[in-house]
Amino acid sequence: MSSPPRTPPGEAARRLCAAGFLDPALLGPSSPGSSLPGNATPPAGAGQVLGGRFELGPLLGRGAHGAVYAALDRASGREGALKLLSAPRPDAAARLEREGQLAAALDHPGLVALYEAGEVAGRRFLFYERVPGARSLDEALAGLSWPERLDCLEQVIAAVAHAHERGVVHRDLKPSNVLLDAEGRPRVADLGVGWGPDLETLTATGAAVGTPLYMAPEQIAGEAGRRDPGVDVWALGVLLYRCASGAPPFQGQDLTSLARAIVSGEHPPLARAAPHVASATASVIERCLRTDPAQRFPDAGALAAALARARARPERAGVRRLPLALLGVLLLGAALAALTQGASPPPPPAQRSPSARARRPAPLQRPTQPPAQRPAQPPARRPARRPAPAPRPRRGSRSTGCSRPSPART
C-alpha cells in the first residue's frame, strides 16, 4: 500500500504564509515564480494615481496580504503610508477592516496613527501616518548602548500598555513592526493580526498567529490564551533580552526545533548572557519569559511599572546581590582568617625579606636639645663650731668664785 505523497517543508511553510499564519520574511528571499500573495504583482506602482486621489510613491514594505506605499492624498494634501491589498480575498479584506478598527481605537504618540480607512478604485486601503526617516528597531539600536536601548524599549512598552488598557492585543510584536523616526522616537505599527473586544475570529481554531521567533508558548500551541495581553508581554521580554544580549533567548535550526525550545522555556539566563545588566532589571526581563502566562506580568502596564522600579534602584549595572547563603559563607571565612592571623606569632626579623626591611620607614627621631644650664649657686657655708664645754670640776676639788656647780642628773 503506497503512502500518500508528502508535502515538501518549504511548500507547507508557504501555505502557512499564504493563509496569514506565518510571516513571509521567515522564508527568506522568494523565487520569482512564487505564488505567495506578497510576491504578486502590486495593483499599482510609483507615480500612479488611484481613483484620482492617492498619488503613489516608492514601495515601503510588503506583507502576506498587502503592500505599503508612500502616498500623497491630493484631497487633503497630507503625506502618509497607504496600505493596499495585493490579493482581493474575503478573509484578507476582513483582516484589513479589523486592523483599521483596532488602529482607530488607539491614540498614543508611540503608535502609528491611522488617518483613514476605506475603498478607492475598487480596493480597500488604510492610510497611516508616515514615520519620517523610519528605521526598524534592529537598524536603529545597532549603535546604541544598553541604557539607550532600554530607554527606547520603555517607550515601546508604554505604547503597548496604552493598547492593553483599551483591550487591544498586538500579537505580532517584533523589530520590523517597531519604527523609529529621525529623532529616535519609536512607533509601534501593524495591527494586522491584532485582537480586540467584540471582534470575530478570523483565524482557524488552533492556528498559530504571529512571528515564531517572538511567539509565546500558548500562541504556538494554539491555546485560548493566545489572545491575552500575556503574549505581548512575552514578545516584549524577547525584545528586551535580545537588545541586552545581542541574541534571542530561544533559537532553533528550523521551525520545529524553535517551537520546541519556546515551549520548554529553556534559555541561557540573562545574568550569564548579559552580565552588564543589573540584577533587578534582569529579573524583570526573565519574568516576561515564563512559560506559564499566570507567572508573567498581567499586561504591559504592569511590566512598565516593574521596569521603572528596577531602574530606580541604586544598584549599579554589573553589580549583583549575592545570595544570603553565599554571603554568610564569605563572612565566616573572613572571620576565621582574622582569628588565624591573630593567633600566629609575627615572623622573626631574620625571616623578613630585605626588600621588606628596605621599605620599612625609619623610626622618627626627636631633635636633641642641649641641657638647660642651671644658675650658679654660692657655696654652702659651714656651720660655726660650738665652743667646747668647760670641764667639770672633780669631786672634792675646790671651786672658784666664778664657776657654778653643774646640776645633778636625774
Q: Which residues are catalytic?
A: 172
Query: DSSP 3-state assignment of 283?
Result: helix
Query: DSSP 3-state assignment of 218?
Result: helix
Cell of residue 340, nine digits: 588565624
Strand partners, 169: 195
- Using alpha carbons, select from 189, 55, 49, 51 the residue that is nearest to residue 130: 189
Q: Contact, 86 vs 65, CB < 8 A?
A: yes
Cα separation of 376 and 123, whole Å?
130
Q: Contact, 150 vs 311, CB < 8 A?
A: yes
Q: Contact, 127 vs 112, CB < 8 A?
A: no
Q: Which amino acid is at 255?
A: L
- Using alpha carbons, select from 48, 66, 65 the residue that is nearest to residue 57: 48
255 Cβ partners below 8 Å, 6+ apart? 13, 26, 212
Q: Which amino acid is at 146?
A: W
Query: DSSP 3-state assignment of 57?
Result: strand
Query: DSSP 3-state assignment of 177?
Result: helix
Query: DSSP 3-state assignment of 404?
Result: coil
Query: DSSP 3-state assignment of 70?
Result: strand
Q: Contact, 115 vs 78, CB < 8 A?
A: yes
**To which H or E segment does residue 115 belong?**
strand 114-120
Burial class (CB in 10 A: 0-12, 13-18, 19+), 386: exposed
Cα separation of 407 and 365, whole Å?
73
Cα separation of 29 and 43, whole Å?
21
